[in-house]
A and B are shown apart, each in its own frame.
Chain A
Amino acid sequence: MLLPDFELITVQDLLHASKILSDKGPSAKLLAGGTDLLPNMKNCLARPETLVHIVGKKPSKPRLDENEGLLLDAMTSLKDLTTDPLVLEKIPSLSQAALSVASEQVRNMGSLGGNLCQDSRCLYINQSREYQFVEPCYKLNGTCCYPFPKGEPICRSVYMSDIAPVLVALDSRLEILSGQVSRWVEIQDLFSGDGIKPLALKPFELIRQILIPKKALERSSFFYKATTRGGLEYASVNLAISLDMDKNTKQVKEIKLVYGAIDASPLKPQKAEEEALGSILSTKGIEEIAESVQNEIEPIPHHGYSKTYLKQLIRVWTKRGLTKILEDLNNLQ
């Protein structure tokens, strides 16, 4: 498979990249690692006429701002996230999530921002051209959905970022660069919820940096990626938990539960979270939380995993995750 023709523009920094993307319009894309974009171009799923490549500036190291929290450069490579001492100390779950992405080679090439801005996937569409069906599906401006031929007329591809659930659980904020202007948004605002175009970013907008608020850094966190092979694989489901509880009474003060790879954006079971607030984190309490999450979350069956199986996975790993956090906190005391 060969890449189609395109123009490559090399720039020195994000501001220049943003300007070129604004000038060129939707036909231009940023090359932020390319481990998602280039296979999509080879499979004829993306056809940018221009790619913008940033050289010259090395990404800033993660830094702790006393008042704000932990700041991460969007161009940080996934490999650096797995080894950075500050990230390992403050949010080990983010390091684990980065370490669970694809392979060593992809982690060396891929960037944090690129991972967040990846396209959604489905078993039909992410194949080489020869294995795709003749009629285009909704994602390719067609009028059908192969995995769900009798379903609603919507794209049911899933957003597979392993990093996103952790950042959502940590209430992260993103600095979006739009032309020459930047603004801060909540990470949930990054997602459109539509499989056809899972990101709510405009074509010329870029993520410059990510802020994990100081308050979230104080909570305990957990990440798990469920896979079949155990490496070099997209998740069947990935989950991130961020929890704050009273150490003496074990009462839940704050809890964030986020599930990825099962919809066009990471899902939060809001009702289950609300019910969990104030409950005691005992064996029974954990089981109740896990069960109410299982009842609330409606995963899209994908890549051969049935809805029943995904729901079971969600319950089991929510239970195991909360138990792990509890054990770690008990060991600390």
Chain B
Amino acid sequence: MKTILTIELNGEEQDFLVLPKHTLLEVLRDQANLLGTKEGCNIGTCGTCTVLLDGKPVLSCLTLAITCQNMSVITIEGISKNNEMSVMQQAFLKHGAVQCGYCTPGMILSATALVDEHPKPTVKQTQKALEGNLCRCTGYNAIINAVMDATGHEEEPKF
């Protein structure tokens, strides 16, 4: 039986008709038409479907949509404001931390949540926070450099 799901999606309250088996990822992509959140492995391994649920990074492919009732969901589309990229997005661009781009939305959301918790994270904290986001192109260093830059570290980290 379908149920009405009400969530605050990127700052705007929205309603969706969902079945219990619908994941948050399916609702975001198929109903809200927010295609920035990617479907990768679909079993919680790759992190491409990461979104912020009440400010915390979670895997939308393993989150039943109906369990998000009245919660806040932020996707990659909600990170930029007034058509201007966030500091983290700009840093990713500057450091070439985007190649094929498939992991990038999840990476940026995980990095954003990290910075909310630790405004000036160390390389080790950054690596730990991003361990759930797999990237097959960049080799990760450019991504770590981008997070370090976005958080005000002046020197490039040594790996």
Contact = CB atoms under 8 A, between A and B. Distances in A.
Interface stretch (A35-43, A65-73, A203-211, A261-269): A35-43
Contacts of A51: 20, 64
Given A106-B44, A109-B63, A2 B56 contact: no
A104 interface: yes
Given A3-B23, A105-B59, A109-B58, A39 B128 contact: no
Interface string B117-148: 00000000001111111100000000000000
Interface centre among B44, B57, B59, B113 (most CB of A within 10 A): B44
A33 to B, nearest CB: 9
Nearest to A102: B132
Interface stretch (A5-13, A154-162, A216-224): A5-13
A10 to B, nearest CB: 8
Contacts of B31: none
Contacts of B57: 104-105, 108
Contacts of A42: 42-43
A102 B20 CA distance: 26
Contact size class for A?
Answer: 20 to 34
B87 interface: no
Nearest to B57: A105
A4 interface: yes
Given A42-B42, A106-B44, A4 B21 contact: yes
A10 B20 CA distance: 11
B66 interface: yes
B110 interface: yes
Interface string A33-61: 01100110011000000010101000000
Nearest to A82: B128
Interface string A87-107: 000000000000100111110
Q: Top 6 closest A-B pairs, CB basis?
A: A103-B132, A231-B131, A8-B20, A39-B43, A3-B21, A108-B56
8 contacts: A5-B20, A34-B64, A38-B43, A38-B44, A39-B62, A104-B131, A105-B57, A109-B62
Interface of A: 1-8, 10, 31, 34-35, 38-39, 42-43, 51, 53, 55, 79, 99, 102-106, 108-109, 128, 231-232
